[in-house]
Structure 1
Amino acid sequence: MLRLLFVGDSMTIGSAGEHTWRYRMWQHLRTAYDGPFQIVGPRTALHDKALDAPVSYEYADPAFPQQHLAGWGEGWLHMAPVIEETVRESRAGLLLISLGLIDLGFYTDAEQTARNMRTFIGNARAANPRVAAAILPVIPNVRARHDPDFAAEVARFNELLAKAVADLDSDRSPLLLVSPPPSYDLDLDTYDGTHPNASGEHRLAATFADALHQAWDLGGPYEAAY
């Protein structure tokens, strides 16, 4: 059975009232993946903005597997120390990862963020030597739009991420660099320049789904209308 773990920051955990791109991906796999699969992870909540804490269960549609490893304000720095235990306990076989923006925005430069990413992969493999991971670079965001220095740091990290994925990829534990969503528009696909709205959720799910299908023949192309 495919055991899938979502790993991410605020764009992945989502906030009260949202579907989340996790939901969109689950909907896709229900029809496109021809084998059994399970969504796994130690967390299930959404972020409650009023309380600034992950305590909400007000999903737009709660009827889906809500497990994940995502957190508002968390990045590679925060996930590297916990991924080994998470993979071991959940027996995750495939990680869908969207991290990096928080690191670069608040904690680490591009070089240190890339080192933390490498540590994360090593720790995940310590729990499951055959774990696979599909990793999304830092995608367009409002800060990069208005801050050229930050945009340069994002570009630098994405270069280092691509190199790390190429260096660490193996037949036993394959890594896949996911392309940013095509035609991702901050004004149309986010509600604040960073966090996805409904169309943004679909675009994030689609870019993972299409990458998995094209690279690993897992599932099929994303077909939901958005």
Structure 2
Amino acid sequence: MLRFMPVGDSQTIGSAGEHTWRYRMWQHLRAAYGGPFRIVGPRETLYDKATDAPDSYEYADPDFPRAHLAGWGEGWLHMAPLIGEAVRTCRADVLLVALGLIDLGFYTNAPQTAENVRSFVAEARTANPRIRMIVLPVIPNVRAESDTAFAAEVASFNELLAKAVADLDEPQSPLLLASPPPSYDTDFDTYDGTHPNASGEHKIAEAFAEAMYQAWDVGEPYAAADFA
């Protein structure tokens, strides 16, 4: 049985009332993966903007495995120290990681963030030497559209991330770089320029699903129309 753990920031934890891309990925795996699987992680909640805390269970559809390791305002900096214990206790086999925007926006520059990526990978492998990881680059966001310096930092980090993935990939613990959703549009696929709406959730889930299918022959091509 494969055990998938979503890891991310506010785009992954989601907020009260949302489905989240985690839900879309679970739908895809149910339809496309031929074997047993589980969604695992040490957390289950959504972020609640009213309480400013991750204390909501008000999913748009709560009837799915809600486990994850994601946090509003948390990035590679925060997850690197946590991932080893999470992998160990939840016995994760595959990490679906969407991080970086928060780091660059508030905590670390591109080279520092890339070093935290390498620390994250090392900690995950210490917990499970055969862990598989798929990493999503920082996707389009409204700040990068209006702040040229931030856009350059995002571009620099995505290049460093690709280099880290190439450097660290190994046969017993494969590391994949997912392709950013090619049609992702901050006007169409987000509700505030940063956080995904329903179409954005599907596109993020598709990025992970296509990487798994193309590189590992896990599942099938993503078909959002099957479970819109």
TM (norm. structure 2) is 0.98
Gaps of at least 5 residues in structure 1 are none
SS at match of 1:97: strand
User: Hey, what's the Cα distance between the residues in 2 that align with 1:152 and 1:13?
Assistant: 26
Q: How does 1:61-100 map to 2 (within 5 A)?
A: 61-100=61-100
Deviations 1:110-135 (A, max 9, x none): 00000000000000000000000000
User: Hey, what's the Cα distance between the residues in 2 that align with 1:161 and 1:91?
Assistant: 25
Identity of aligned residues (%): 73
Q: How does 1:69-218 map to 2 (within 5 A)?
A: 69-218=69-218
Deviation for aligned residue 1:224: 1.6
Match for residue 25 of structure 2? 25
Deviations 1:7-29 (A, max 9, x none): 00000000000000000000000
Deviations 1:116-165 (A, max 9, x none): 00000000000000000000000000000000000000000000000000
Match for residue 10 of structure 2? 10
User: Hey, what's the Cα distance between the residues in 2 that align with 1:177 and 1:107?
Assistant: 23
SS at match of 1:58: coil
SS at match of 2:224: coil
SS at match of 2:114: helix
Corresponding pairs, count: 226
Deviations 1:14-47 (A, max 9, x none): 0000000000000000010001000000000000
**Cα RMSD after superposing both structures:** 0.6
SS at match of 2:47: strand
Deviation for aligned residue 1:207: 1.1
Deviating beyond 4 angstroms after TM superposition, the runs of 4 or more aligned structure 1 residues are none
User: Hey, what's the Cα distance between the residues in 2 that align with 1:173 and 1:54?
Assistant: 32
Deviation for aligned residue 1:218: 0.5
User: Hey, what's the Cα distance between the residues in 2 that align with 1:58 and 1:118?
Assistant: 34
User: Hey, what's the Cα distance between the residues in 2 that align with 1:116 and 1:212?
Assistant: 24
TM (norm. structure 1) is 0.99
Amino acid aligned to 2:203: R
